[in-house]
Amino acid sequence: MAERLFEGRIVYYSGSIRGVPEPDPEFAWKLVQYMINGGADVLSEHVAARNREEMALVRARRMGAQAMLVDNHPEPWYAVRRQDTEWVDQATHIVALVNGPSHGVGMEIERGLLKPERGLKRTPILALVRADLIDKLTWMIRGIEADEFYLRQYTDLDSACQEVSRFLMGLGSTSQLNMREVIRELVREATTLADVRDGLLRAIVQEKQGRDALRIGYVAGIITSDGPDHIQNNIGRLERLTHGIREREGILTFSATDVFDDELFVRLKASTLPQESWWVFWREVLGSGYVTDIYMTPRWQESTGARDEHETATKLGIAIHYE
């Protein structure tokens, strides 16, 4: 990997050690090395080691003399549990391989899920299962319903790495880009606002199901209401605000700038559309039942469209946040 795209991510890798082992010991090791080569700090690299000797060397590199003390202790499990739970609490992201039963993996996932209850920041969790093993996965994992928990299937190392890449990048700076790409692809041939609405809702459903998202955020703000000379500045400002909200909230978030571009405006003959048609469009999107949160950006009161969206959200009981 030429770029260190995962820089700043502190990952706890959770995998079976004493439970059912991975069929291919190379798989977990290569997956963890992919994260490390991408710039991630994988606290528990040793868990993916291919043999006991390699595990000892990797642990010693991370823990120094403490690793030897643990290994030589008559009851090492106490120290291992303390260290692993500390690492789970420290991690910004958790990646778990759940192909076979493991008490440790299950407990580490649960500890990650409960971090907010202990006053810690919510940590995104990616649980990876091989596609042919999904029906054997315990329902205690498969049935998790929580913000930022993602259960994903893979078929080979490449597809697993793609899921990891999307996970480590998708909740950061590029997630909005991913969302935009999906939306733009599904409205690519739209010629009416109804076409755009249908494509946008398909994109929301696709991303919601693909990421097991419980919340969807829409960012409202001024674009055209203060005149044509300010449109480009307003678009750039709304994009930056949307990005900032996305980074802070960690949920799927979009704004009008993710839906519309110059080519789409030309196909729609947007300049000829009455203003009320735009109001109806966003009322239908907000009224779809998918949008759970709306973020009102500064100067939203100066936008007739944003004011209408605020009124619609109020009527629908959508959570309203003021930036």
Domains of the chain in start order, with CATH, are 10-170 (3.40.50.450), 175-322 (3.40.50.10400)
N- to C-terminal Cα separation, the chain: 37
Q: What is the mean pLDDT of the chain?
A: 87
| Strand ranges of the sheet holding 252-255, from the earlier edge strand across to the other edge | 252-255, 216-220, 293-296, 319-322
The mean per-residue pLDDT over the stretch 27-41 comes to: 92
How many whole angstroms separate alpha carbon 234 and alpha carbon 312?
22
User: Could you tell me the pTM of the whole model?
Assistant: 0.54
> What is the predicted pLDDT for the residue at 313?
97
* Apex 143 CA angle, 97 and 288, nearest 5: 115
Mean pLDDT of 288-306: 95
pLDDT at 127: 94
Six-digit token string for 26: 């190379």
pLDDT, average across residues 288-294: 95
Give Cβ neighbours of residue 144 (< 8 Å, ≥ 6 apart): 109, 113, 127, 151
DSSP states of 144-212? ---TTEEEEEESSHHHHHHHHHHHHHHTTTTHHHHHHHHHHHHTTT--SHHHHHHHHHHHHHHHHHHHT
**By 3-state DSSP, what share of the chain in percent is helix, strand and coil, each rounded to 5?**
55, 15, 30
Residue 288 has pLDDT above 70, yes or no: yes
Q: Among residues 262, 253, 308, 254, which one has the least CA distance to residue 281?
A: 308
* pLDDT score, position 173: 36
More confident residue, 56 or 100: 100
Does the pLDDT of residue 146 top 90, yes or no? no
pLDDT tens digit string along 85-121?
Answer: 999 999 999 999 999 889 999 999 999 999 999 999 8
- Residue-wise pLDDT tens digits, 245-272: 887 777 889 999 999 988 899 999 988 9
Q: How far is CA 247 from CA 171, 173, 208, 251, 295, in A?
A: 7, 7, 17, 8, 13
Burial of 272 (0-12, 13-18, 19+ CB in 10 A): exposed
Distance CA 95, CA 273 (A): 48
DSSP run (H or E) holding 236: helix 231-249
